[in-house]
Structure 1
Amino acid sequence: MNRRNFIIGGLATAGMLSLGGYSFIHRPEFGRLPQGERLARIQASPHYINGKFQNLVPVQVMSEDSGENRFVATAKFLFGDKSALSPKEPMLSHKTDLKKLDIKQDLVVWMGHSTFYMQLGGRRILIDPVFSSYASPVFFINKAFSGSNIYTAADMPDIDVLAISHDHWDHLDYTTVMALKDKIKNIVCPLGVGEYFEQWGFDLQILHEEDWDKEIKFAEDFSIHILPSQHFSGRFLTQNPTLWCGFAFVTPKNKVYYSGDGGYGEHFKTIGKQFGGFDLMLGENGQYNMAWHAIHLLPEETAQAAVDVRAKALLPAHGGKFALARHPWQEPYQKLTEASQGKDYQLLTPEIGEAVSIDEISLQAFGKWWEKML
C-alpha cells in the first residue's frame, strides 16, 4: 500500500469511528438536554446556579482527600479484582405475583437495587425500575447479579405512578420504561428529568415534574413530595443538567420515605421534622466508597438517616443487584445490621420479590438471606 492509500485508509477509518461514536451517543437511551420551556423553568429554580443544579450544601462528587482521582477510581472499577463484588451463586428470591395482590393492602416489594413496587392508599407505584441486564449504555459494564432479574415489564400490573428519582442509568432505564409505557398512568420526577420522557414519546399530560419541597397532590388522600437529596446527575458528559431527589409518599394511613441516592446531610433531620416521621423508609445502602462519600451513604449513615427521618422501619435499597463500588457485595447488609442494633426502627431484609406489609411491619421478620449465599 502506498503512502497516499495509507492516508486515505486512515482517514476513512477515523471517519467511520467518528460516525460510529456520533451514532452511539445519539441513541435515544442517552436522552437529550432540557430545552425550551422546561429549560426556562429550570433556570428559574433557586437550586440551578451557573448552568447546573447544585446541592443544598456544596460537596465534591469525588473527594480530593480520598487520595484517588477519577482516573484511578475508574481504572479500579473496570480492571480491578472483582471476585468479591458479586455473589458466586444466583440471588435468593421469592417472586410475588403482583397482579394477584389485593389493591387495598399497603405493601412494598423490593426488586433488587433501588427498584420497588408499592401499593399505598389504593394506588400502584413503581420506583426507579430497572429490569435490564445492565445498568449502563453498554453490555459489559454493571451487569446484574445472576438471579436478581426475576421481574419483567410483563409482570407489572397497570402503574398509577412511576416515580423516578434521577437520571442515572441504574435508576432511569430506557428499555424498562419503554416496555412499561402503555401501563403507566402518571410519572413523577424532579426538574429536567421530564425531558427524557418527552423525547421518548410519553404523553406530557401524565408528567408531573417538580423542584425540591414541592407537593404533587393527586387527591385529598394521596400526595407525593419531591424532596432534597445530596447527589448529582447526568447520563453522559454534561454535569448536573437535571435535578435529583427523594420522595415522600403520603396517605392518611401511611407515610413512606424513599431517600433516592445521596450522601448524609442535615436534610434528613429537616425531612423528619417536616413530616413528623414515617412508617417506612426505603433507604440507600450500598455502592459506597470514601472517594465519593459525599454523594452516597455509608451503612452507618443509612442507620442514622433512618433515625433522623424518624422512621419506624427501614428497608435497604441500592444493593443486591449491581456492583457499582469496590466493597464486597454482602458488606452493606452486614454493616447495616450491626449499625441498626439498639435503634428505634425495625430493620427489614426481605429477599428480592418478597412482599412486606406496611400495615403489619411489626409482625414480620426476615432472615439474613445474604449469609446463605457465597
Structure 2
Amino acid sequence: MFHILRWVVAAIALLGVFGYWFVNQPQMDPLMTPERKARIEASPHYVNGEFVPETPHEKVNPSLGFWKEFFFPTPGKTIPSDPMISVKTNLRQLPRDKDVLVWMGHSSYYMQLNGHRILIDPISAEYALPVPFVDKAFEGSNIYTPDDIPDDIDVMVLSHDHWDHLDYDFVRAIEPKVKHVVTGLGNGGYYEKWGYPLEKISEEDWNTPVKIDDGLTVWVLPARHFSGRMLKRNQTLYAGFAFITPGRKVFYSGDGGYDGRFARIGDQFGGFDLAILEDGQYNKDWHSVHMMPEETAQAAVDLHAKTVVPCHNGKYPLSTHQWKDPYIRLVKAAHEKDLTLLTPMIGETLRIGDQNQYFGRWWELMN
C-alpha cells in the first residue's frame, strides 16, 4: 500500500511540474508591462477586468457531439477524406504594383495593395491547439511556410490571439521581414515578448487608424469575439481591420458573431472593394462568436462589399459542421442576395477589384 501511495504522489508531482512548465511557455501569455496594462484599463471596452464586445454574447454550451468531433474528427465529415486541392503561387514573384490576394488557408492571407505587402493572421501550425494530436490541419492545407514569405512585409495584422490565428513559430521566424505590426490592445505583448522591437508594434483600441504611410492606412475595428491563449481570457482585444489606400478599400472581419457593426462600418467607409469574411467553425450553440453562413452574406450586404471572400475554413476542424458546408451554404446565400462571391483555392491569386474573375467550386471535387 505504501508503494502504491508513493507512486501516486510521484505521478501527481510529475504532472504538477509538467503543468507548470506548460503554462509558462513563452507562447502562452503576452508580456504585460505596466504601460500596456494601463492602456488596456483605460479602454471603454475593458469592463470589470476584461474586454467585452459591443453586443453581449449569448451563453455558449457545446454538446457532447461537439466534443466527440473535436477530439475525433470524422473523415469525409468534419475533415476531408482527400488532400486539400491547392495551387502554390510564388509570393516573391508577384508584381508589386498588382493589387492581389492569396489565401494561405484558414484565415491567413498574403495581400498586396498600392505597392504594399501585407500579411493577415499568418499561420502554418500543424495543430490549432498547443496540445499535440488535437485539431490537426487538413492534409495538403499547409503549403506555405515562413520561407515563402517575401523579405519586406510592410505590415502584418493580427485579429486576435487564439491558436488558430497567432502562430508562435511563424511569427518569430518572419520578424526580420516585417516592418510593422498592427493589432488590438494587449496583443503587442506577444510580439514584444517574442523579440519584436517596440517601434514595430502598433496595438490600438477599436476605431483607430494606423497610418503606415501616405499610401496605406490600417484601421483597427470592432469584432464580436473573445480572446485568450490558455487560462486568462479577454485580456487582449479582438479586432477586424480596414485597409484603405487612395484606390482600394479592403475589409477583414477577423472572428466574431454577427451584429450591427457591419452596417456602421459599411456606412463609415462608403463600402469596400473586397470583404474577407469569417465563414466556418460556426454552430448554433455559439453563433454569437462565429457567424453562420447566412449571416456572413448579410454582413457583406451591410458592408456594401463589391466582392466577398470567405475565410476561417479549409484547414482546421473546430466545429461539427461538414467541412465543405461553409461553401455550400454561403454560395446559396450569396446567390439569394446577389453578391459577387469569390472562392479561390489555397494558393490561387485573386485580383482585387476584378469582379469578373471566376473561381471554380473546387470543394465539389473532394470528399
Residue 160 (structure 2) aligns with: 166
Amino acid paired to 1:212: W
Asked whether the 8 Å contact 2:70–2:317 carries over to 1, the reply is: no
More deviation, 25-34/245-254: 25-34
Return the alpha-carbon distance in structure 2 between the equivalents of residues 80 and 154 of structure 1. Answer: 30
Matched, 1:345 2:301: no
1:127–1:164 contact (8 Å) kept in structure 2: yes
Q: Distance in 1 between matches of 2:73 and 2:213?
A: 50
In structure 2, what residue type is equivalent to 1:98? L
Question: 1:109, CA displacement in angstroms?
Answer: 0.4
The one-letter code matched in structure 1 to 2:18 is: G
> By how many angstroms is 1:74 displaced?
3.4
The equivalent position to 2:44 in structure 1, one of 20, 43, 46, is 46
Pair 1:103-2:96 in alignment: yes
Q: Which amino acid aligns with 1:345?
A: L
Cα shift at 1:181: 1.5
| 1:231-310 aligned within 5 A | 231-310=225-304
Given the alignment of the two structures, is residue 25 of structure 1 paired with residue 30 of structure 2, yes or no? no
The answer as to 2:329 corresponding to 1:335 is yes
Instruction: Indicate conservation of the 8 Å contact 2:102/2:349, yes or no.
Output: yes
Aligned residues: 366
Residue 59 (structure 1) aligned to one of 57, 60, 63: 57
Aligned pairs for 1:359-370 within 5 A:
359=353, 361-370=354-363
CA–CA distance in 1 between the matches of 2:89 and 2:72? 37
> Structure 2: which amino acid aligns with 1:13?
A
Residue 122 of structure 1 is aligned with which of 115, 125, 150?
115
Determine helix, strand or coil for the equivalent of 2:32: coil
Shift, 1:84, TM fit: 0.7
- TM-aligned CA distance change 1:10 to 1:115, over 3 Å: same
Counterpart residue number, 2:196: 202
Post-superposition offset of 1:61: 5.4
Following the alignment from structure 1 to structure 2, what is the Cα–Cα distance between the partners of residues 81 and 370?
A: 17
1:215 equivalent to 2:213? Answer no
When residues 69 and 350 of structure 1 are mapped into structure 2, their CA distance, relative to the original with a 3 A threshold, is closer
Amino acid at match of 2:6: I
Once the two structures are superposed, what CA deviation does each residue of 1:241-296 show, in whole Å capped at 9, x if it has no partner?
Answer: 11100000000100000010000000000000000000000000010001111010
Deviation of 1:221 after TM superposition, in Å, equals: 2.3
2:105 is matched with: 112
SS in 2 for 1:99: helix
- Relative to structure 1, is the Cα distance of residues 61 and 27 closer, same or farther in structure 2, using a 3 angstrom cutoff? farther
* Equivalent position of 1:230 in the other structure: 224
By how many angstroms is 1:60 displaced? Answer: 2.8
Cα RMSD (Å): 1.5
Q: Tell me if the contact between 1:34 and 1:241 (Cα under 8 Å) persists in the aligned partners.
A: no
> Whole-Å Cα distance in 1 between the matches of residues 83 and 96 of structure 2?
31
Structure 1 residue 311 and structure 2 residue 309: aligned? no
Q: In the alignment, is the contact (CA less than 8 A) between 1:268 and 1:308 conserved in 2?
A: yes
Aligned mate of 2:87, from 81, 84, 94: 94
**Identity value in percent:** 49
Offset of residue 16 of structure 1:
1.4
Q: Which moved more, 1:210-219 or 1:24-33?
A: 24-33
| Cα distance between partner residues in 2 of 1:174 and 1:76 | 26
Any stretches of 5+ residues in structure 2 without a counterpart? none
Deviation at 1:59, TM superposition (A): 1.2
* 1:30 aligned counterpart, secondary structure: coil
Q: Cα gap change, 1:137/1:61 in structure 2, threshold over 3 Å: closer, same or farther?
A: farther
Partner Cα distance (1:345, 1:255) in 2: 17
1:84 corresponds to which of 47, 70, 77 = 77
How far has the Cα of 1:12 moved from its partner? Answer: 2.2
Q: Secondary structure at the match of 1:294?
A: coil
When normalised by structure 2's length, the TM-score is 0.96
**Cα distance 1:61–1:226, how it changes in 2: closer, same or farther (>3 A)?**
farther
Paired with 1:287 and 1:145, the residues of 2 have a C-alpha distance of 14
Q: Is the 8 A contact 2:254 2:278 kept in 1?
A: yes
Q: Which moved more, 1:339-348 or 1:170-179?
A: 339-348
CA distance in structure 1 between the partners assigned to 2:188 and 2:360 by the alignment: 39
**Aligned mates of 2:80, 2:66 — CA distance in 1:** 22
Shift of 1:70: 6.9
Whether contact under 8 Å (1:279, 1:312) holds in the other structure is: yes
Q: Which residue number corresponds to residue 65 of structure 1?
A: none
The equivalent of 2:317 in structure 1 is 323
Query: What CA distance in whole angstroms lies between the structure 2 residues aligned with 1:99 and 1:117?
Result: 11
Q: Is 1:355 matched up with 2:349?
A: yes
| Residues 97-118 of structure 1: CA deviation (Å, up to 9, x unaligned) | 1101111111100111000000
Q: CA deviation at 1:6?
A: 3.7
Question: Which residue identity lines up with residue 48 of structure 1 in the other structure?
Answer: Y
What is the CA–CA distance in structure 2 between the aligned matches of 1:123 and 1:78, rounded to whole Å? 40
